Amino acid sequence: MASSPLRPTTATGAVPYWRVPKVLFLAAVRSSSLLGHDLIHRLKAERFQLFLAGYLAMYLGTGVLLPLWEYQYVLRSPFLLAIVGVCTAQCVVLGAALRLARRARYQQSITLLCIGHWAAVLLITFVAPALLPVMVLAALVPVVFAEPYIRWQRGLVFAVITAGCVLALGALARFQNVSHLARQGPRWIETAFIVAALPVVAFHILVIAWNNAAALRVSESMLAERAAQLEASRSRLITAADEERRRLERDLHDGAQQHLVALAVLIQLARTAGHDRYQPLLTEASGLVETAIAEIRRLAHGIYPPLLVSGGLAQALPAVAAHAPVPAQLDLQGLGRYPASIETALYFCCSEALQNAVKHGGPDTTVTITAHTNDRMLTLTISDTGRGFDPTTIGTGLTNMTDRLSAIGGNLVIDTAPGRGTRITAVLKAPVQPDCAEPPRNDGPRLGLTHPRR
């Protein structure tokens, strides 16, 4: 069974009723995996609505209109009216389930559908035992279809209930004697219904099963591709970490270390200098101390900015934008505190995107940084009005940004073309943590801190 229930992909809900078949048909035609991954995952809501609408039409046509026609022109039997009553009640249940689905209450909708369907097939078999083969297959359809939409625990319960329902159908058809009067009607109608309905229901179950299997195969191939990308990303991160360590070593050796060595020499000279000569040496040593402190602060700021520790992205990103040579507009409404790994990745991605816009955007380039967050997802978008570039020429800087996001389970989308600017969108699962403002662990230098390259 599926490990997680259906969740709506957008806040608005779903496509209007009359557009659902067209949307699914176009998706099936354009998809490389026909009736596979797209219809199972990306178009879950539309597929669910089409299933409910189809079942509603089936019960209305074959369970209400056809028995009424038989009652009017073939046989005035109370059992036909009983079937009409059962199917009318099921149409009401399906209408309520469809309404729940339109409100994104999928768990309640599919539970109501299954319960109503089990009751309907039991009552129809009680009224017309000869329809047992069709009812047995029909009892399986909702549970087979529900597999991608419910958790495996509920799916297991539904499977057990369905098995009990099938057993009850067999017992009703074998042992009950109430509906013997229904046999007074012409058998050809009953036979025609069974012959027509059996292959349709069986084909329906096979299509659903094949659809789910195709989606599973596509998901497996996507997971394999994702694993290969993560492996390549891991190798690049290790290489970048080694290069960053060497760069920091050079900066410390050529900067702060040289100042500290000179400081040690001056202090030694001051110890041996005469009374009238040590004062200038100490003054020079004080200047070297201040220079060394400034150099170390610069390196520490590049490793992890202090504003990011104290105020998170909501304070660190405006500081980055304020120091950018190009105009930058920010919309960070609702941005809270997140785990240090998420804040670090997004901060340096934003910093690199800004510097790329400065280096490659051209004159009069402006940058807009927006953030959108909800209970589950965080989206950060950096767009500029620069010259843009060919997406096939993505270099080291953007590759490092992609690796950063991949390492924490996020996704980076680069939308650009020559002459129409660049938009970089980072999307990741990031529940807000109001109390996660503790400093990050000092587990090594961060990657891609300076010299961003496109």
Structure tokens at 307: 């504003």
The winner for highest mean pLDDT among 112-116, 192-196, 352-356 is: 112-116
SS (H, E, C) the chain: CCCCCCCCCCCCCCCCHHHHHHHHHHHHHHCCCCCCHHHHHHCHHHHHHHHHHHHHHHHHHHHHHHHHHHHHHCCCCHHHHHHHHHHHHHHHHHHHHHHHHHCCCHHHHHHHHHHHHHHHHHHHHHHCHHHHHHHHHHHHHHHHHHHHHCCHHHHHHHHHHHHHHHHHHHHHHHHCCHHHHHHHCCHHHHHHHHHHHHHHHHHHHHHHHHHHHHHHHHHHHHHHHHHHHHHHHHHHHHHHHHHHHHHHHHHHHHCHHHHHHHHHHHHHHHHHCCCCCHHHHHHHHHHHHHHHHHHHHHHHHHHCCHHHHHHCHHHHHHHHHHCCCCCEEEECCCCCCCCHHHHHHHHHHHHHHHHHHHHHCCCCCCEEEEEEECCCEEEEEEEECCCCCCHHHCCHHHHHHHHHHHHCCCEEEEEECCCCCEEEEEEEECCCCCCCCCCCCCCCCCCCCCCCCC
Q: What does the pLDDT read at residue 301? A: 61
Quickly count: other Cβ atoms within 10 Å of residue 303's Cβ: 15
Give 66-113 pLDDT, tens digit per residue: 889 888 888 787 888 888 999 999 999 999 998 888 887 878 888 899
Residue 443 pLDDT > 50, yes or no?
A: no
Binning pLDDT at 50, 70 and 90, where does residue 7 land?
very low
pLDDT of residue 153: 86
State mean pLDDT over 197-226.
80
* Residue 450: pLDDT over 60: no
Q: What are 215-242's pLDDT values in tens digits? A: 777 777 777 877 777 777 777 767 766 7
Whether the Cβ atoms of residue 185 and residue 70 lie closer than 8 Å to each other: yes
**Considering the entire predicted model, what is its pTM?**
0.51
